[in-house]
Structure 1
Amino acid sequence: MGSVTTPSTDRRATISLFSRLRTAEGQADPFPIYAELRARGTVSPAPWGGHLVTGYGTCDQVLRNGVWIEPDTTWREQQGARTRWSAPSAREISRTMPALNPPEHTRVRRSAGSFDRTTIEQIGRRVSQVVDRLLDTLHERLHAGEADFSALVGEELPVATIGDWLGLPSADWPRLRELTHDQVFTQELLPNASQLARSDAAMVELRAYFLELIRDRREHPGDDPVSRWIRTWDELEPDRDKADEAVYFLALFVLLAALETTSTLLSTMTLLLVEDPDRWSLLAEHPDLVPAFVEETLRYDPPTHVISRVASEDCLLEGTEVKAGEMAHLMVGAAQRDPARFTDPDSFAPRRKASHLAFSGGIHYCLGAPLARLEAQTLLSRMIARLPRLTLVRRPVQAPRVAFRRLLNLDVSLT
């Protein structure tokens, strides 16, 4: 006779999988664990409540379906006073654009503007200059021995790009980068109390920083995004304090989005390049594959492995009954290795030309996607053209996270 699987058995098995995801081995390579999770079904119960979604098609459907909404401020308040959703940093992040739902999301997104072609061309010139400077520094360090690519380039390019665009003093960039790394815990899948405390402290400092910046830009307006947002919100909101709050949340969102995930993309992309000499040779011979290499990186190991949505009404998800208010955790890292969607999904194939969900989807598709692509493609093109082939010295260490990937180091040397 076969064994009977009970709900409690399912729950223990899933908890075991997520415990393994938190180990150093699980952080280094979560994909075998994702495969085990995916084998439990496209939609399976999350031990802490809600649902886990591992199929690519179902994740894509949820992101594009208006029934599924962001866990906004109202939803978080309904979860109770002693949950992770009630932490000050969780409440604060719920007021940024990615956590808003229509009609407020529509209003704020329009006020933000977009990275149109003209803006990208302007930023692109600055990105090229920054990349050349950072690669000069990297090359100098490499002549003396090994160097940490993540610290010297991967972490530096995004903060220099967005810091320059927002007009933030370069002396502030290192601290803003540190605060960004701390605040991300409030957006993690299962943050613990100490991680939430770090997020709370970071949010207090970020709030003070940007409100002071807004006060200064009111007194000394310029041709920069923050000054433009001030003018826009003064027209939309007669209450100046509320207008300043709106600008603060826009600036906060842009900084957080631009730094955390882009730095991970840059370092992950470079890891995939240097760990296999054939990949460097491929791009050196076919530089036109640079954009495809970036897109395959976003599929193969995206910066964000989990995206969460909430059902706005009772519905069915792949035959599973979902009640209004229940959460679905879209396991994007697993979905983008879904064999039902991708041929040989565990192979890194720059010529694949496959779609991905790394920038989310639907109305919440990432506003900064063009900027992230610009930085990644510029960096990759310049590396291939300017540097001798780099060699991976040792496997990098991953930060202890599930939703937001981050390489803590990427040590390389010259061949």
Structure 2
Amino acid sequence: MEIAITPPTDRRFAVSLFSRLRTAKGQANPFPIYGELRSRGGVVAAPWGGHLVTAFDLCDQVLRSRDWLEPDARWREQQGDGTRWTAPSSREMSRTLPALNPPDHTWVRRSAGMFDRASLEQLSGTVGHITTRLLDSLAERLHEGEADFNALVGEELPVATIGHWLGLPTADFPRLRDLTHDQVFTQELLPSASQLAKSDAATAELRTYFTDLVRERRARPGDDPVSRWITVWDDMESDRDKADEAVYYLALFVLLAALETTSTLLSTMTLLLLEHPRQWDWLTVHPELVPAAVEESLRYDPPTHVISRVSSRDGVLGGVEVRKDEMVHLMVGAANRDPAKHEDPELFNLHRKPAHLAFSGGIHYCLGAPLARMEAQTLLHQLVRRFPRLTLVRRPSWAPRVAFRRLLNLDVALS
């Protein structure tokens, strides 16, 4: 049966949309712009080449299919010198777990061995204790007036949790958090030269930090994930330097994955509930809906709005021809509000049946998803119990990003 090929949408249309996404208004609420993009079809041409995918089912199909690959080191090298893909930070990221394809991805993921039920049970008490301490600080600040929830809680809980798990000095937490904010630019959709320079510098500093950490743990092993990874990789790799390099990339990946997106989830979840006071009030009376509130937040405004994949062969996606090695950008922030998937998708509704792509899918489903969910649920349970009268003081500001959402502040008070 012959498949009809839909002509690519005029790229100028997509150019105008992305210029609007980069404005303060577009950052604060990109969803009307996504709606315009989705109205042109499930697959449209990207301004810089490749395609943008906005249909939920097509995004889900790509994430689950082995025909679609990560833009790995081989693919990035093929893009040529002088491109964002060959920047030092991009090359470094191509060696971390999220950028690997099978078979490398398979055995690196297995070697990680983290966040199973037993390890989560061990961490749950720590997360609860950290959350209580942070909310104590929030309470003190609220007693004086308004407080920045993002700075006091949203940014602090993930770094304290993963820092404790990895056994890192608490004095290092602020610097690691700042480096993560800069490093993520290399993973953005269209990073500028200045943003890539920040990412390159942050990546170099993080490499020094974690290679030193691996060296220290090899000399003085303990009961921590890095020490365990060293043991695992010594059994898998006879070259000790290569084993240490593999452990470094695991530690780097864990920090970057645990901090940036989880911080955004925690603050965005709180913002959404305060923006919908009837839902907030309902939750204070029905805390059993906390898991549903977390999932609806992940659907409504996920921490990551874009996931990129590369086609392994010539084919057709949503009626559009895609060539081998051509990239598609899965606009999961738009797909999560696809009316073909959800009734009244613009409505924030805690009673909705969960279905979202916030944690990706297929073999690359987020390894840290269980931990992120536990942090969010622990925080929300304590938040609705301790601060039922919490209110939003003013609309927050957002970092100038498209793929990775980041709140810059979240000012709250008690009514």
Normalised TM-score (structure 2): 0.98
1:196 counterpart letter in structure 2: L
**What pairs with 1:5-404 in structure 2 (closer than 5 Å)?**
10-404=10-404
Give the secondary structure class of the aligned counterpart of 1:321: strand
1:280–1:389 contact (8 Å) kept in structure 2: no
CA deviation map 1:191-246 (0-9, x unaligned): 00000000000000000000000111011100100000001011111111111110
Give the secondary structure class of the aligned counterpart of 1:352: coil
Distance 1:9 1:166 in 2: 47
2:273 counterpart letter in structure 1: L
CA deviation map 1:27-69 (0-9, x unaligned): 0000000000001110011110101000000000000010000
Distance 1:182 1:371 in 2: 23
| Paired positions, count | 410
Distance 2:403 2:95 in 1: 20
Distance 2:92 2:233 in 1: 19
Give the secondary structure class of the aligned counterpart of 1:342: coil
**1:8 shift after superposition:** 10
2:305–2:403 contact (8 Å) kept in structure 1: yes
CA deviation map 1:357-384 (0-9, x unaligned): 0000000000000000000000000011
2:284–2:388 contact (8 Å) kept in structure 1: no
Distance 2:224 2:359 in 1: 25
1:395 counterpart letter in structure 2: R
1:11–1:46 contact (8 Å) kept in structure 2: yes
1:129 counterpart letter in structure 2: H
Distance 2:232 2:56 in 1: 38
1:222 counterpart letter in structure 2: G
Distance 2:161 2:389 in 1: 25
Which ranges of structure 2 fall in alignment gaps of 5 or more residues?
1-6
2:134 counterpart letter in structure 1: L
Distance 1:55 1:8 in 2: 16
CA deviation map 1:85-141 (0-9, x unaligned): 010000000100010000000010000003111110111100000000000000000
Deviation beyond 2 Å, 4+ runs, structure 1? none
Give the secondary structure class of the aligned counterpart of 2:135: helix
Give the secondary structure class of the aligned counterpart of 1:132: helix
Structure 2 vs 1, CA of residues 387 and 8 (structure 1 numbering), >3 Å: closer, same or farther?
A: closer
Distance 1:225 1:330 in 2: 32
Distance 1:204 1:9 in 2: 40
**Higher mean displacement: 231-240 or 384-393:** 384-393
Distance 2:126 2:327 in 1: 41
Normalised TM-score (structure 1): 0.98
1:146–1:411 contact (8 Å) kept in structure 2: yes
> Over aligned residue pairs, what C-alpha RMSD do you find?
1.2
Which ranges of structure 1 fall in alignment gaps of 5 or more residues?
1-6
**1:9 shift after superposition:** 8.3
Distance 1:232 1:381 in 2: 37
